[in-house]
């Protein structure tokens, strides 16, 4: 999606790109995507992932009502990072997410 929206590129939407794009927009604007305030009594869970193009993470909280999303973070890799091995990209994703979410996880146990 990021590649489709570069300024120097004329974007012609076809039915093959509209349907997935509209579905993504729908999912990003409906529950359970809505973010929640963290509760000091419940544990935090950090999930990270990396691909050949970028990395991201989800900070969730496990509560008696179920899992609630606190924050989403993501970043596109630069040219050098795309050359990293899979293990290096996964480790970079973990370290980057911890740094990005430090205000939420400082002095708190995370899983």
> Mind listing the pLDDT tens digit for each residue in 6-16?
566 565 656 66
Q: Which of left, alpha, beta for 41 (phi over 0: left; psi -120 to 50: alpha)?
A: alpha
The answer to whether residue 94 is domain-embedded is yes
Residues of the chain with pLDDT under 50: none
The answer to whether residue 50 is domain-embedded is yes
SS3 string, 11-79, reads CCCCHHHHHHHHHHHHHHCCCCCCCCCCCCCCCEEEEEEECCCEEEEEEEEEECCEEEEEEEEEEECCH
The answer to whether residue 111 is domain-embedded is yes
Distance of CA 12 to the CA centre of its chain: 27
What is the domain extent for residue 79?
A: 37-111
Q: So what's the pLDDT on residue 101?
A: 95
């Amino acid at each position: 999606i990021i590649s489709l929206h570069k300024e120097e590129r004329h974007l012609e939407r076809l039915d093959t790109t509209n349907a997935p794009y509209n579905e993504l927009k729908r999912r990003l604007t409906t529950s359970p995507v809505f973010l929640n305030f963290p509760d000091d009594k419940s544990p935090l869970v950090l999930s990270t992932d990396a691909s050949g193009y970028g990395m991201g993470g989800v900070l969730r909280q496990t509560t008696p009502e179920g899992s609630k999303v606190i924050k989403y973070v993501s970043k596109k890799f630069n040219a050098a990072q795309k050359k990293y091995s899979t293990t290096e990209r996964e480790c970079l994703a973990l370290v980057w997410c911890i740094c990005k979410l430090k205000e939420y996880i400082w002095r708190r146990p995370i899983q």
